[in-house]
């Protein structure tokens, strides 16, 4: 069976192209940086703006407060009780734009160059969320109805760990009850190659603080006789991996459930190139856990990464100082069935064991989320395959993912519906980095794929 993008919807997208892009740019101009309290008013404004966009698309919209940034809910339930209900999830918050000087054009002044929309949040996730809103609008404007009941849930805290969303989902379980969850907050395997996600990694995020002397000291007068917290921190984090790139924290791999042979074979058959990745990231060489291919290291295996380090004198020139403290941000990406709380305890115990005498070490929880693996069977995935084929003229591939979307596990636990992750980003899109972009073509085809999917459910 093959499908095509319905002509009436395709025409709508074509004739409204300029208006839709204009609206998306308004959305992208709002610096809804969830991590920064100085942007709280902007984040609130983005929520209000989005509720307005939901309303304009024909959804009943509501901004619902949480313990943090609000949830924006849009609903249309006119298809009738015998038709499926779909929950679409996305996020309107974005990562900080720093370092600002590395952007070719300003992060919150969306600009099109070479068929790409450059702006913070263009692909992660405002562009991908907005294409869903426009797919709904197309149905409601052109036909006056949707073939499914729909709930759109947009959160403003995804980039800071979705701390309040799990409670929100559990508290509104009845209202959110659905037959399928659809999320576009990920990337395609390659340009022109639509992709369905089979897994996400989870996350345990911690901060390590190492404290020594009660203030910075002269490194000549005291050095050699006082333990240096920066050196102590370096020694601690150097124990996280062995010489083969394996994580050396006792118990870390105990609950890793490996891919089944079929998934392994499928992933091995994907046309992945280490050389392309090397070009994309610009490192001198790739590396990781011995015995695994790069894609396996990214998708199948857990990690332990240092995300930030702070200690001592880092400004111009030299200063002979023995710092009083050192800090590291550490996060582990997790795979099924690793539990973020268990990994946090293992890491904490390990740090306490290896910490040298002469410093105090504190481990603080920042956030966590569970890994996820899909069961890619059933009518939802068949329909998604057809819809992606209709828009992209190519059969989707199944891919893994190294990133995390914490709420996915909450959806699994609270709603029990199958979850479809079909993203429209691309490799090299610079998510979380300067010059983030989304392909204009993928935005256009993404709208068409999603609008087609609703017809096929
Ligand atoms: N959209 C990403 C997650 C993602 C990235 C999925 C690439 C698929 C492909 C999401 O916005 C994100 O960055 N999530 C954070 C979650 C964290 C802050 C808990 C992440 O993965 O670091
Ligand atoms: Zn995202």
Instruction: Dig out the tokens for 266 from the structure.
Output: 């499928």
Residue 108 lies inside a defined structural domain of this protein: yes
Is residue 76 domain-shared with residue 103, that is, in the same domain? yes
Task: Ligand 1 pocket test: pick from 185, 330, 426 the residue with the most ligand atoms within 8 Å of its Cβ.
Answer: 185
Is residue 185 domain-shared with residue 56, that is, in the same domain? yes
Report the pocket of ligand 1 as residue ranges, CB < 6 Å: 124-125, 158-159, 161, 185-187, 203, 367, 369, 401, 403-406
pLDDT given for residue 2 in this prediction: 82
3-state secondary structure the chain: CCCCCCHHHHHHHHHCHHHHHHHHHHHHCCCCECCCHHHHHHHHHHHHHHHHHHHHHCCEEEEECCCCCCEEEEEECCCCCCCCEEEEEEECCECCCCCHHHCCCCCCCCEEECCEEECCCHHHHHHHHHHHHHHHHHHHHHHCCCCCEEEEEEECCHHHCCCCHHHHHHHCHHHHCCCEEEECCCECCECCECEEECEECEEEEEEEEEECCCCCEECCCCECCECCHHHHHHHHHHCCECCCCCECCCCCCCCCCCCCHHHHHHHHHCCCCHHHHHHHHCCCCCCCCCCCCHHHHHHCCCCCEEEEEEECCCCCCCCCEECCEEEEEEEEEECCCCCHHHHHHHHHHHHHHHCCCCCEEEEEEEEEECCEECCCCCHHHHHHHHHHHHHHCCCCEEECCCCCCCHHHHHHHHHCCCEEECCCECCCCCCCCCCCEEEHHHHHHHHHHHHHHHHHC
- Name which residue sits closest to atom 16 of ligand 1, judged by CA: 404
Domain count, the chain: 2
Is residue 187 domain-shared with residue 215, that is, in the same domain? no
Structural domain containing residue 64: 7-200+371-456
- Choosing from 369, 390, 419, the residue where a domain stops is 369
- Name which residue sits closest to atom 4 of ligand 1, judged by CA: 403
Average pLDDT, the chain: 97
Percent of the chain scored above 70 by pLDDT? 100
Question: What's the CATH number where 395 sits?
Answer: 3.40.630.10
Distance from the first to the final alpha carbon of the chain: 14
- Choosing from 369, 392, 412, the residue where a domain stops is 369
Question: What's the CATH number where 306 sits?
Answer: 3.30.70.360
Tens of pLDDT along 121-170? 999 999 999 999 999 999 999 999 999 999 999 999 999 989 999 999 99
Which value, to the nearest 10 degrees, does the dihedral of the CA atoms of residues 270, 271, 274, 275 take?
-170
Residue 263 lies inside a defined structural domain of this protein: no
Is residue 37 domain-shared with residue 136, that is, in the same domain? yes
Residue 430 lies inside a defined structural domain of this protein: yes
pLDDT at 377 over 80: yes
pLDDT at 404 over 90: yes
pLDDT given for residue 375 in this prediction: 85
pLDDT given for residue 299 in this prediction: 97
Instruction: Dig out the tokens for 264 from the structure.
Output: 């392994």
Is residue 327 domain-shared with residue 421, that is, in the same domain? no
Is residue 236 domain-shared with residue 105, that is, in the same domain? no
Ligand 2 ion: nearby residues, β-carbon < 5 Å: 124-125, 185
Is residue 358 domain-shared with residue 436, that is, in the same domain? no
Task: Please list, in sequence order, all residues whose beta carbon lies within 8 angstroms of the beta carbon of residue 167, skipping any fewer than 6 positions away.
Answer: 66, 67
Residue 284 lies inside a defined structural domain of this protein: no
Beta strand 116-118 with 111-113 is: antiparallel
Q: Which atom of ligand 1 is closest in space to residue 185's alpha carbon?
A: 1
- Is residue 178 within 8 A of residue 420, CB to CB? The reply is no
Residue 191 lies inside a defined structural domain of this protein: yes
pTM for this predicted structure? 0.94
């Amino acid at each position: 069976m093959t499908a095509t993008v319905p002509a009436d919807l395709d025409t709508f997208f074509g004739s409204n192209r300029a208006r839709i892009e204009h609206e998306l740019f308004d959305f992208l101009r709002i610096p809804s940086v969830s991590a920064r309290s100085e942007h709280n008013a902007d984040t609130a404004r983005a929520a209000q703006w989005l509720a307005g966009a939901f309303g304009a698309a024909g959804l009943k919209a509501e901004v619902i407060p949480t313990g943090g940034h609000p949830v924006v809910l849009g609903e249309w339930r006119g298809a009738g009780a015998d038709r499926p209900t779909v929950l679409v999830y996305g996020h309107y918050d974005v990562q900080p734009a720093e370092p600002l000087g590395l952007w070719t054009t300003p992060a919150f002044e969306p600009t099109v160059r070479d068929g790409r929309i450059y702006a913070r949040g263009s692909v992660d996730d405002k562009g991908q969320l907005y294409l869903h809103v426009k797919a709904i609008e197309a149905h409601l404007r052109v036909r006056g109805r949707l073939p499914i009941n729909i709930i759109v849930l947009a959160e403003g805290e995804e980039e800071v760990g979705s701390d309040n969303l799990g409670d929100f989902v559990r508290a509104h379980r009845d209202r959110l009850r659905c037959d399928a969850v659809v999320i576009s907050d990920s990337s395609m395997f390659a340009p022109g190659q639509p992709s369905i996600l089979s897994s996400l990694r989870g996350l345990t995020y911690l901060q390590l603080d190492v404290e020594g002397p009660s203030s910075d000291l002269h490194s000549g007068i005291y050095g050699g006789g006082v333990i240096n917290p920066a050196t102590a921190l370096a020694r601690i984090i150097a124990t996280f991996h062995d010489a083969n790139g394996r994580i050396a924290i006792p118990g870390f791999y105990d609950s890793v459930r490996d891919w089944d042979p079929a998934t392994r074979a499928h992933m091995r058959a994907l046309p992945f190139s280490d050389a392309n990745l090397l070009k994309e990231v610009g490192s001198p060489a790739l590396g990781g856990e011995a015995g695994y291919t790069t894609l396996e290291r990214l998708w199948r295996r857990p990690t332990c990464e240092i995300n930030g380090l702070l200690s001592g004198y880092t400004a111009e020139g030299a200063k002979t100082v023995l710092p009083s403290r050192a800090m590291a941000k550490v996060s582990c990406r997790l795979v099924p069935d690793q539990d973020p709380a268990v990994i946090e305890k293992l890491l904490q115990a390990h740090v306490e064991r290896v910490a040298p005498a002469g410093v105090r070490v504190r481990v603080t929880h920042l956030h966590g989320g569970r890994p996820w693996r899909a069961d890619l069977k059933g009518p939802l995935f068949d329909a998604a395959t057809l819809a992606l084929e209709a828009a992209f003229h190519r059969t989707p591939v199944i891919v893994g993912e190294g990133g995390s979307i914490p709420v996915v596990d909450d959806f699994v636990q609270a709603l029990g519906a199958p979850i479809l992750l079909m993203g429209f980003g691309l490799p090299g899109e610079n998510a979380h980095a300067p010059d983030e972009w989304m392909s204009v073509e993928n935005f256009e085809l993404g709208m068409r794929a999603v609008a087609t999917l609703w017809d096929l459910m």
